[in-house]
């Protein structure tokens, strides 16, 4: 089965390394934002919540004081712990967030969003089975909770359970036909299964719902690439870059597509940009080395393979191609570089 987290493409005697977007979950949309209240959250591509304008640490201080005030009566403690958990989650403090969601559930064990939020916390620290247990509970309490189905699907995909993930994405879309994340994640699941045309249909739908979804264009471009539609891949990478000029991987992958069109200098320009944005990007050094290699610039290729290995000493392809470049350089009898 194709591993979409380390996609490669054979080219001549070596491999290009094309990278899907790795956010929280490889090519997948990060777990959807926490539910703010007792009502299931609706899909919202902006992910703007009413407390987003308040500094999270200020919010935590306020809620800590509120918890202390309410500790004797117990009234409203579930909500206070839930909201403090959301503030911790905003800061990336997933363990502290989970502790607060635990407390919220102790005071009110029947609220689906609290299981959902705790599941999301488990999800973000890579505890996918624990996340699924909480998403299960959220769904049992509220069978219409579309985002819980989406996130459970995402956790299952992380475990390689793509068929079960697909079932969850389908149910999320059935419940909420405008849930962008589920179309996007379903596209990624199809890509992992090598069904790129079906993946593209799902990315199309996600992009129709949110035309500014840079990762949607990026991953659709990767699917086009694997269908050998290099110009269409480049068009999507172009759009991803317009929407997110800091997306180093889009430059890397566009460079690979240019190389497959024998536009090696244009490819090198893209690898240069990827490296400028991410100076430790081993794959971009490797791919730029391959481009120099194809242009017969073996010394420059070796320099880039060296840099790739500096950042990733276990990069087998870089060792292999460096060996090929050294062998070619030895037969060039004084290669002239320009």
Name the DSSP letter for residue 20: -
| 261-299 confidence digits (pLDDT tens) | 999 999 999 999 999 999 999 999 999 999 999 999 999
Top-tier CATH class for 23-176: mainly alpha
Q: Check whether 25 has a pLDDT greater than 90.
A: no
Q: Give one word for 207, left, alpha or beta, with left for phi > 0 and alpha for psi -120 to 50.
A: alpha
Mean pLDDT of the chain: 82
Predicted TM-score (pTM) above 0.85: no
In this structure, is the dihedral angle defined by the CA atoms of residues 245, 246, 247 and 253, taken in order, positive or negative?
positive
Q: What DSSP string describes 138-193?
A: HHHH-TT-HHHHHHHHHHHHHTT-HHHHHHHHHHHHHH-TT-HHHHHHHHHHHHHT
Please tell us whether the domain made up of 247-338 is placed in CATH 1.20.1070.10. no
Residue 331's pLDDT band, with cuts at 50, 70 and 90, is low
Q: Poorest-confidence range of 28-32, 224-228, 281-285?
A: 28-32
Compute the distance between CA of residue 247 and CA of residue 26 in angstroms, rounded to an integer.
14
Compute the distance between CA of residue 53 and CA of residue 70 in angstroms, rounded to an integer.
25
**Which residue ranges does the chain devote to CATH 1.25.40.10?**
23-176, 247-338
């Amino acid at each position: 089965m194709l591993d979409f987290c380390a996609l490669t493409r054979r080219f001549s005697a070596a491999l290009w390394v094309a990278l899907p977007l790795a956010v929280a979950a490889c090519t997948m949309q990060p777990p959807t934002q926490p539910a703010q209240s007792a009502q299931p959250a609706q899909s919202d591509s902006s992910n703007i919540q009413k407390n987003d304008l308040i500094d999270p640490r200020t919010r935590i201080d306020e809620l800590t004081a509120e918890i202390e005030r309410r500790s004797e009566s117990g009234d409203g403690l579930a909500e206070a712990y839930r909201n403090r958990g959301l503030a911790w989650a905003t800061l990336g403090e997933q363990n502290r967030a989970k502790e607060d969601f635990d407390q919220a559930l102790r005071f009110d064990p029947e609220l689906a969003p609290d299981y959902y939020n705790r599941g999301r916390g488990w999800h973000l620290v890579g505890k996918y089975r624990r996340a699924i247990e909480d998403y299960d509970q959220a769904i049992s309490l509220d069978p219409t909770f579309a985002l819980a189905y989406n996130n459970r699907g995402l956790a299952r995909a992380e475990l390689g359970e793509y068929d079960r993930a697909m079932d969850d994405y389908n149910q999320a879309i059935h419940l909420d036909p405008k849930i962008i994340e589920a179309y996007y994640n379903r596209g990624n699941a199809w890509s992992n299964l090598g069904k790129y045309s079906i993946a593209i249909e799902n990315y199309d739908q996600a992009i129709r719902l949110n035309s500014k979804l840079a990762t949607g264009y990026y991953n659709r471009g990767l699917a086009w690439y694997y269908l050998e539609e290099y110009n269409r891949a480049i068009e999507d990478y172009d759009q991803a870059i317009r929407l997110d000029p800091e997306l180093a991987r889009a430059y890397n992958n566009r460079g690979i597509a240019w190389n497959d069109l024998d536009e090696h200098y244009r490819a090198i320009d893209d690898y240069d940009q990827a490296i400028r944005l991410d100076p430790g990007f081993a794959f971009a050094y490797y791919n730029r080395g391959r481009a120099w290699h194809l242009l017969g610039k073996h010394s420059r290729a070796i320099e880039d393979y060296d840099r790739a290995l500096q950042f990733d000493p276990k990069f087998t392809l870089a060792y292999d191609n460096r060996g090929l470049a050294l062998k070619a350089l030895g037969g060039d009898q004084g290669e002239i570089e320009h």
